[in-house]
Amino acid sequence: MPNDTINNAIKKASNSNENYEEIVYEGYGPNGVAVIVEASTDNKNRTAADVRHAFDKSGGNLGTSGCVSYMFNKKGILVIDKETTTIEEEELMILAIEAGAEDFQSSEEIYEVTTDPSDFTAVREKLEEAGLAFLEAEVQMLPNTTVALDEKGIEKMEKLIERLEDLDDVANIYHNWEE
């Protein structure tokens, strides 16, 4: 590759004052699976075309704003590995609820704390002060209902997710596929 091409690319990247926009795309994957795609882009037209293409190639279709978001709730999720904490389950539950958590679930390997997005930071900080480390700590879109897929549908849905993940502008993908 010629040095001029390399130098021009470096200049373009260092002088870029481009503004990135946060955009949410909604649509349906195979068998009616609701899909929400969060993207951060400097070119809405390119990103919209890329996302639409991924849906089309995977047997889905891109919808209008609001077509599937009503099927999801935005929640803060904090996941704690049971092996990394010495705090007893009941004590941890009380600590989380007092900090403002909405729900506390326990499974064999993890504790899961659910919060309202507005309380997420306060709950996370309170639990961190107690010495807890998180496997996962983020605000997510959780589905109200889920859709089961047959073998063919699973294959198509996996391809859709893979195609969307391969797009540079895509930040998060949420769906109501019952995995």
pTM: 0.79
The yes-or-no answer to whether 19-70+144-175 and 73-143 have a common fold is yes
pLDDT tens digits, one per residue of 45-75: 999 999 999 999 998 999 999 999 999 999 9
Give the start-to-end residue ranges of the domains of the chain: 19-70+144-175, 73-143
Average pLDDT over residues 5-9: 62
Half-sphere exposure of 125 (CA within 13 A, CB side): 5
Torsion of CA 40, 46, 48, 49, to 10 degrees: -150
**What dotted CATH number matches 19-70+144-175?**
3.30.70.980
pLDDT at 128 over 60: yes
Give backbone dihedrals phi and psi of 102, rounded to 5 degrees, phi first: -85, -35
pLDDT band at 16 (very low <50, low <70, confident <90, very high): low
User: Could you tell me if 160 and 58 are in contact, meaning their C-beta atoms sit under 8 angstroms apart?
Assistant: yes
pLDDT tens digits, one per residue of 69-99: 999 999 999 999 999 888 899 999 999 999 9
Which residue in this structure is represented by tokens 């077509």? 67
**What dotted CATH number matches 73-143?**
3.30.70.980
Average pLDDT over residues 98-127: 94
